[in-house]
Structure 1
Amino acid sequence: MIQFLTGLYGFFATFPFISFFLIYGIAYVRTRNKKESLLWAVYITFILLLSAVGNLFKVVTGSWNGFWWLLSLLLLVAALLLFLQWKKRGEIIPGKVIRSSIFFGFLLFSLSYLILFIAGIWLSFVRG
């Protein structure tokens, strides 16, 4: 059973965009709400993208440093959003900051995934 779950996670983490559409479809069938389905798809795919980008960066460069730089950038953006919200409204709404950070992270890690995926394919042809 654990091997099945590990294999399933491995497949979905390797192809997070397939996961995105699958999760969106399942959530839409259950809720009949497009916005909520999109949120669920983004949240779960973001978690899958974290592990996928980390592993792709390790495969392409041989180092984990890029993954930590991306994660640090995500935390820096979250801190900036927190500061801007405090300056504009005088209060902090953690849910909005977390949601905005996850959406930014989803875009950042999606772009990173695409770049690293293409670089990995190209390097596999070059290295032989």
Structure 2
Amino acid sequence: MGTLLSSAAASFITLPLLFYVLIFTVVKQLTRNHRKALNAAIYSTTFVLIVSVHFMIITIWESSYLFIIILFMLVTAVFFTFLHWKTREEIIYRKVFAGYLRLNFLMFSVFYIGLLLFGIITRAKNLIFSV
């Protein structure tokens, strides 16, 4: 049972799109509400994307930059909250947090795709020039 759970976790970290589709499908079947399914998939996949980016960085550069990732997320949260306060003149924490999670989903999706392409190109280049 432990092997099954660790294999599923490794698959989701390797392919966060698979996790997104799974969560979206399950919630859509349970609630019959597209918007709730979309939000649930985005909010839950954000954490998986952050972990995926962290492990891709470790794989590519053989060093952990988790502190920088967390610091980046905190600075983004402060900036996002400040921006919300300037535009709305009051802070509605639920909306700020939801928007912040969506922003993180978007940013870490871009980081994931960028690191994926960078890793593939780097490994291919190393294989071609090492022969």
Q: Which TM-score applies when normalising by structure 1?
A: 0.88
How far off is 1:83 after superposition?
2.0
Q: Which structure 2 residues correspond to residues 2-17 of structure 1 after superposition, within 5 A? A: 2-17=2-17
**Residue aligning to 1:100:** 99
| Cα separation, 2, equivalents of 1:88 and 1:15 | 36
Kept in 2, the 8 Å contact 1:74–1:101? The answer is no
- Give structure 1 regions of 4+ aligned residues with deviation exceeding 6 angstroms: none
Q: Quote the residue 2:50 is aligned against.
A: 50
Letter in 2 for 1:74: M
| In structure 2, C-alpha distance between the alignment counterparts of 1:96 and 1:86, rounded to whole Å | 11
Range moving further from structure 2, 12-21 or 77-86: 77-86
What residue ranges of structure 1 are gaps of 5+ in the alignment?
none
**What amino acid is the match of 1:84?**
L
Matching residue of 2:61: 61
Once superposed, what is the RMSD of the aligned Cα atoms?
Answer: 1.6
TM-score by length of 2: 0.87
User: Shift of residue 55 of structure 1?
Assistant: 0.4
**Count of residues in Structure 1 that have an aligned counterpart in Structure 2:** 127
What residue is the counterpart of 1:113 in the other structure? 112
Relative to structure 2, which stretch is displaced further, 77-86 or 31-40? Answer: 77-86
| 1:27–1:37 Cα contact (<8 Å) kept | yes
